[in-house]
Amino acid sequence: MILPTPIQKNFVELRNSIPLRQTFADYESTFVILHPFYKVKEGYNISLNYYTGANKKEITKACTQISWAQIIKEANLTDIKELERLVSFYYCASRTIDKIGWMKFMNVIHSNNYIVPQTDVYPEILTDLTLEVLKQLGYSDIIIFPFALEERKFYKIQELINSPLKLPASQPRILTPNNKIFFVNDFDDCFTFLSSDKKTIDKIISEIDLEGFYCDDTTKPEWSFERQTGEIIDFFSPERKAMLGSKQ
C-alpha cells in the first residue's frame, strides 16, 4: 500500500539532517517501508525478543500483519506521523508524547493484543518474501552488514530462506552485489529505507504488499517530527507506566 508522502515540517532542533534523497542520491527513488504491527494467531504464544524470542519461521507461522492504516483508523489517530511518534515513545526513542494520542494508541494495542512494530531489524515476517522477490529479480547472493561494521559479507539467498534464523545483523544493510537495490534500517527506527530505480521498487512493493511512502526531495530521517502541543507526558508519567503494563 503506497501512502501519501508526509509533509515535512521545517525544523532545526534535530540537527538539520540531510534529506534522504541526498543520502541515497545514487538511486533514482527511496521508499520508506513501515514495519507492520503483528497479531499472534489463536493457539500460538511467542516472543519477538531479538535475542531470545521466536525464530523467523515461527514468527511467520504464528503472526499476521496489521497495517499502520488499520491502527490509525482503530485508534482515531491523525496520520502515520503521529503513529510513528507513538511507536518511538513506546520504545523510549522519543522523550515526550501527546497524552491523548498515547492513551488511544495503547488502548487499541491492549484491547486487540497487537504487537508494536519492531525496531533495529528488518521484520522477520517480511524477510523470506523479500528474499524471494530478489531471487525473481535474478539475484542468488546478497550482501548483509550491520550499521556498526563496515565489513560486508555475502550470503546465499536460498540458504537464508531455508534457515529459521533471523537476518545476521541488527540495524541491517541489505545490498545486492551490483549495488542496484539497497535496504537500510537505522537505530531505533520502526521503518526501513529501500532505494533503487522506481520500477524495481514498485515490483517489490507489489509482490510483498509493503506499506509505506516514497520520499520527496524534502523528506528527512525524522519525517514524523512535529512540535508537541496540548498535554504532554514523558518517560516518568504515570500514564505511560500504567498503559505499558506487561507490553514492555
Question: Which regions of the chain are under pLDDT 50?
Answer: 12, 246-248
What integer pLDDT is reported at residue 228 of this predicted model?
Answer: 75
User: CA-to-CA distance for 175 and 189, rounded, in angstroms?
Assistant: 18
Instruction: Write out the three cell numbers for 42.
Output: 489463536
Listed residue (11, 7, 5) closest to 32, CA to CA: 5
Q: How far is the C-alpha of 116 from the C-alpha of 91, rounded, in Å?
A: 9
| Residue corresponding to grid cell 534464523 | 165
Identify the DSSP state of 27. S
Q: Which residues contact 209 (CB under 8 A, 6 or more apart)?
A: 1
DSSP, residue by residue, 147-206 = TT----EEEEHHHHHH--SPPS-SSEEEE-TTS--EEE--TT-SEEEEEE-HHHHHHHHH
State the pLDDT at residue 245: 59
Domain boundaries, the chain: 20-247
pLDDT on residue 10 = 64
Which pLDDT belongs to residue 246?
40
DSSP code, position 230 = S
